[in-house]
Amino acid sequence: MIEIVFSTFNGKNTLPRTLDSFCKLNQPSSSWRIIAVNNGSIDNTAEILNFYKEKLPIIIINEPNKGKNYALNTALNYINSDLLVFTDDDVVVPKNWLVNIERCTESNPSYDIFGGAIIPRWPIPPTDLILKYVDMGIIYAVTNPSWRTGAVNEINGAVWGPNMWIRSHLFSDKLKFTTNVGPNGSHNYIMGSETELVNRLKEKGKAAWFCADVVVEHLIRQNQMDINWILQRYYRAGRSSYLLDNNHKNKSVKIFGADRWLYRRLIVAYFQSIYYKILRDDENDFLIQKIIYKTKGSIFQSKQS
């Protein structure tokens, strides 16, 4: 059996489109079902999920503790399959999604962890600044279109939440998602919950494989194209990179509780930003703002470490 697992929090704006695409899935050779976790939604998410019970093989679980990883850990108590497919409540999948997942998995029996391609579905045409200067993976969980099918290397990762699957036997050893990472209903959470899990598995010698022909579309909301929203995302990425990067200079001298080298980077970036503002060079200023926000996030996380 294949089980699709996802968490949803106030998903009324995207969840119906996701579930509609599930309704159109072609049947793989294995049976399949959905484990959907309602993570304390206060909109009509519960009604939406119940409506699709007549259309889909779905079980609905309620997890009131806020946090995507709390929800996914709760879902793990209900698994009864050989393969767990993790996704989000804001994707659209093609008809052959499960068929391609099954084919890729069976063709690579020595691998336990898999990731597929993620492409954006924009609500309106993105600006040139977004297309040229925004890191699509960090901001929109979109994979690099140049990635090809093959073993996942340490540089690109390529196993991300909207489109990843793991053989279920890895969870038989009390494997859980880390609950202090990932969306939790606040604006200041640490990104990278799936990356953190995959990194732990890779440290145990588990290999990962990327399947370029297993594709989902990630639904981008219009507010997520606002520059302020994008910069806040870089702030959270800064927290994540500091937490997950074992090579950061954690033995450096501390100033106000954070690593000194981070303050040095921030000060240099501020002066560069002033320079580009004087020149009215918006593009280079945005590149510096990315550094500023990521560094601020790292400073905050450094103080927590």
Give the predicted TM-score (pTM) of the model. Answer: 0.90
The residue ranking higher by pLDDT, 180 or 288, is 288
As a whole number of angstroms, the distance between CA 275 and CA 281 comes to 9
Question: Which pairs from 265-269 meet CB under 8 Å and 24+ separation?
Answer: 265/291, 265/295, 266/292, 266/295, 266/296, 266/299, 269/295
Tell me if residue 209 falls in helix, strand or coil.
strand
Report the distance separating Cα 265 and Cα 285, nearest Å. Answer: 15
Tally of helices (H runs) and strands (E runs) in the chain: 10, 11
Q: What type of residue is 86? A: F
List pLDDT tens digits, range 90-142: 999 999 999 999 999 999 999 999 999 999 999 999 999 999 999 999 999 99
pLDDT (0 to 100) of residue 136: 95
CA-to-CA separations, 233 to 90, 177, 226, 238, in angstroms, rounded: 17, 21, 11, 9
DSSP-assigned beta bridge partners for residue 210: 115, 150
CATH architecture, range 2-223: Alpha-Beta Complex (3.90)
Residues 11-70 have pLDDT tens digits of 999 999 999 999 999 999 999 999 999 999 999 999 999 999 999 999 999 999 988 999
Beta strands in the chain (DSSP E): 2-8, 32-38, 58-62, 83-86, 91-92, 113-121, 150-151, 164-167, 208-219, 254-255, 258-259
**CA angle 152–203–104, rounded 5-degree value:** 35
pLDDT over 90 percentage in the chain: 73
* Inter-residue contact 27 to 97 (CB < 8 Å): no
Q: Is the pLDDT of residue 249 over 70?
A: no
Residue 232 structure tokens:
């806040």
